[in-house]
Chain A
Amino acid sequence: MSGPVVILFVLIGLAILLIALFAFRPSVTTTPTRKILDFAALFILPSVCLAMGFQVHMERSKQTQFCISCHAMTPWGQSLYVDDLHHLAATHFQNHLVPHSQACFTCHTTYTIFGDAQAKLSGLKHIYMQYIAGPPKVIRISSPYNNRECLHCHSGMRVFEEGPVHAAMMDQFKSNSISCLSSGCHDVVHNTSGLAKEKLWRPGQP
């Protein structure tokens, strides 16, 4: 359990205790003091707990384990372990080009001002599809992948910018007129349909 979660549990416990004390045994404080303590117990503490809880849930929903906890996402989780470095997602995951704990979120958020919020809203759509509408037979990315998400990390990387192919086409990448995932470039991303034929990497085993 992380530090902020422990602090949040302490605050929740304190809030419950104070609310129970002031709301159900109002005689414990004198009138002027009581109003201030009531305000702290019934307004300030619950508001702080609510804001912190929202933040903790937002951070938690960025975790790889959270994303693949839906059954339909299992193959996408497995694709991170494909033992073939031509697989884009696998090479990023296995070489720590994305943090292991936030592998999905790092590539699938949008790097804009409200990117995190947009990612969470689409996450709610996923929950609707998982529990109400049912997951589609063929799962596809909801909108074409924007190069902006790749360039967020790769822009400024020497090995990327000095590569002759990348250097020659940099303007097209930046304007999104050519996708990084175009055929012949980095077109094998998750390839979940061919997963059964792939050998999987087991960390720590040669």
Chain B
Amino acid sequence: MKFNALGFDRLLRISGVLAILGLAVEAYTLLWFHPLSFVAFALVGGLLIVVGIAVYLLSLLSFLKSSK
């Protein structure tokens, strides 16, 4: 399946969900004073945010390509 076949709005929603989940994990780790909080922030929250941003940027690129 092509990436842009999912549609821009749908990809936006997917990246939004990932980013919101990542930000929620980040907020939780800021309240959790524990040695594992940094690991959770970096490996779970950070990863979700980065993947969310990447999906958004890729959807933007595929949208620009298809609109040419």
In the bound assembly, the distance between CA atoms of A60 and B39 in angstroms comes to 13
Determine whether the beta carbon of B49 is less than 8 Å from that of A69: no
Within 8 A of B (CB), among A1-38: 5, 8-9, 12, 15-16, 19-20, 22-24, 26, 38
Known: A15-B23, A19-B19, A57-B41. A43 touches B35 (CB 8 A): no
In the bound assembly, the distance between CA atoms of A50 and B20 in angstroms comes to 12
Number of A-B contacts (CB under 8 A): 91
Known: A24-B16, A42-B56. A49 touches B26 (CB 8 A): yes
- 9 additional A-B pairs beyond A12-B27, A42-B12, A65-B33, beta carbons within 8 Å, are A22-B16, A42-B52, A43-B57, A46-B52, A49-B23, A53-B41, A66-B33, A127-B35, A127-B39
When distances are taken between beta carbons in the complex, the residues of chain A under 8 Å from B4 are: none
Known: A19-B19, A46-B52, A47-B53. A69 touches B35 (CB 8 A): yes
In the bound assembly, the distance between CA atoms of A188 and B45 in angstroms comes to 42
CB distance from A135 to the nearest CB of B (A): 12
In the bound assembly, the distance between CA atoms of A19 and B53 in angstroms comes to 11
Determine whether the beta carbon of B50 is less than 8 Å from that of A50: yes
A70 touches B (CB below 8 Å): yes
B36 touches A (CB below 8 Å): yes
A117 touches B (CB below 8 Å): no
CB < 8 Å neighbour of B30 from A16, A53, A127? A53
A130 touches B (CB below 8 Å): yes
In the bound assembly, the distance between CA atoms of A33 and B48 in angstroms comes to 26
Determine whether the beta carbon of B35 is less than 8 Å from that of A12: no
Determine whether the beta carbon of B30 is less than 8 Å from that of A23: no
When distances are taken between beta carbons in the complex, the residues of chain B under 8 Å from A124 are: 39
When distances are taken between beta carbons in the complex, the residues of chain B under 8 Å from A56 are: 30
In the bound assembly, the distance between CA atoms of A49 and B5 in angstroms comes to 30
Determine whether the beta carbon of B20 is less than 8 Å from that of A16: yes
When distances are taken between beta carbons in the complex, the residues of chain B under 8 Å from A20 are: 16, 20
The chain B residue sitting closest to A127, CB to CB, is B35
